[in-house]
Amino acid sequence: MDTQAVEKILQWVRSTDLAEISYRRGEDAVALRLEEAGAPAAPAYPMIPVTSPEVGIFHFNMLGKPRKVEKGAEIQKDHPLGIVDTGASQHPIKAPASGRVVSILVDEGDAVQYGQPLLFIEP
C-alpha cells in the first residue's frame, strides 16, 4: 500500500469519531490508532467481542433446536452462543466471560469470516 493511500485512510479516520481502524484488501493491510491528548477515557466496562473461530455459516444453535441467546440475556462464561458450520464440521461458540449480551451483529444463516465479531458481551 502506498503512502498516498494510507494518507487518504488517515484523513478519512480523522473526519469520523473512530479512534482505531484496521483495513485489509488482498495483501495490503494497515492498522491505525489515533491517540490525542485529552481524548475521552475508555469506558469502565469495556465490551468483550465474541468472534468467529472459522469461515462458515453462523447458526444460533443446531438445526431444529431453540435459540440459546438473545440481546439483553445474562450469560455465564462458556455458555453456548451458537455454532459456525464450515460444511465439513461445526465449531461451537462459547461465551468468553460472564455478562450481558449487549449487541448481536449477525443473523441466523449469515456467512461469517474468521475473527469477525458476532456479538458483544458487557462483563
Residue 43 has pLDDT above 70, yes or no: no
Greater confidence, 95 or 41? 95
Q: Report residue 33's pLDDT band, with 50, 70 and 90 as the boundaries.
A: confident
**Range from 5-14, 76-85, 95-104 carrying the lowest mean pLDDT:** 5-14
Mean pLDDT across the chain: 82
Q: Report residue 63's pLDDT band, with 50, 70 and 90 as the boundaries.
A: confident
Residue 37 has pLDDT above 50, yes or no: no
Residue 94 has pLDDT above 90, yes or no: yes
Judge whether 19 and 33 are in contact, CB under 8 Å: yes
Question: In whole angstroms, what is the distance from residue 62 CA to residue 64 CA?
Answer: 6
The CATH topology of domain 48-122 is OB fold (Dihydrolipoamide Acetyltransferase, E2P) (2.40.50)
Question: In whole angstroms, what is the distance from residue 74 CA to residue 102 CA?
Answer: 10
Domain boundaries, the chain: 3-33, 48-122
> How many CB atoms sit inside 10 A of residue 71's CB?
11
Amino acid 10: pLDDT: 72
DSSP of 39-65:
PPPPPSS--EEEE-SSSEEEESSSTTS
Q: Which of 21-35, 66-80, 92-106 has the highest mean pLDDT?
A: 92-106
Confidence (pTM): 0.60
